[in-house]
Amino acid sequence: MRDETTRAANESAQQAAARLQTLTTVDRHDVAVILGSGWVPAAELLGETTSEFPVTDLPGFAPPAVEGHAGRFRSIDADGTRVLAFLGRTHLYEERGVDAVTHAVRTAHFSGCHTVVLTNGCGGLDPAWSPGTPVLIRDHINLTGASPLHGAHFVDLTDLYSARLRTMCRTIDPSLSEGVYCQFRGPMYETPAEIGMVAAMGGTLVGMSTALEAIVARSLGMEILGLSLVTNAAAGMTGEPLNHEEVLAAGQAAATRMGDLLGKVIRAL
């Protein structure tokens, strides 16, 4: 019964991949990049954009629910590496279900991508991470209460966020630190008590994406790199309320560094 659900999700993604191939006239892509909040301005620096479309041109993609979350995809040529970049994503809090959240990852898989770079903007628990600091995701804690897999589908999540790719990133930028990303359902930010819980659990980054997408990517055999941009201190860390302007400003300010880092990482893959 539940295997039917996985088959339906994969069939929908295969249809999206076929349409993507027709639209971009690129037979197969190599690397997928999902650009979350704060990361979209970095897209310009990844390589030469050969085509760009709204994701709604592909079957199975819903229009973005949040203004400013651009729902577009680009085919980019990074010195011969074909990059499929999604500018914006579907979040669990949009209530379209887990298959909508992971549709881009499945589509990337059926488009030929062997690697997916999952990026996000998030809150940070380490006071050393000022807004605009990029952090490598070492591991995650899924606090959404949701699973993106259907049926008795047992998937190993040891080394979910590839140690090989993290080492490669630190070769490119030795100042990069690592964190444990906790995915909350959202859309509210955490209470200070919830941040205390995250700290007690060993979490150092908090956000509303990435973990469910990483699980599906792994279930499809892809290698995963997770990159967080700390755009704000987690709730209760500074005594200041969380400020959406600060979040957007941190993304703009960090765009060049993020784009430079991502561009180098993609060429090294």
Give me the least distance between CB of 146 and ligand 8IG, in Å please. 15
Site size toward ligand 8IG, by CB under 6 A:
16
Question: Which 3 state secondary structure label does DSSP give 53?
Answer: strand
Fill in the amino acid letter for 255.
A
CA distance 174 to 249: 25
Binding positions for ligand 8IG, 196-225, rule CB under 6 A:
206-208
Chain position whose Cβ is nearest to ligand 8IG: 123
Task: Check residue 228 for interaction with ligand 8IG (CB under 6 A).
Answer: no
Closest by CA position to 110, among listed 190, 19, 186 = 19
Peptide bond connecting 187 to the previous residue in cis, omega within 30 degrees of 0: yes
Task: Check residue 231 for interaction with ligand 8IG (CB under 6 A).
Answer: yes
* Active-site residue, from 4, 44, 95, 190: 190
Residue 191: φ, ψ to 5°:
-85, 160
The total of other beta-carbon atoms located within 10 Å of residue 167's CB is 10
CA distance 147 to 131: 30
Give me the least distance between CB of 247 and ligand 8IG, in Å please. 4
Catalytic-residue membership of 48: no
Binding mask 145-184 for ligand 8IG (x = CB under 6 A): ---------------------------------------x
Binding positions for ligand 8IG, 47-106, rule CB under 6 A:
none
Annotated active-site positions, please?
190
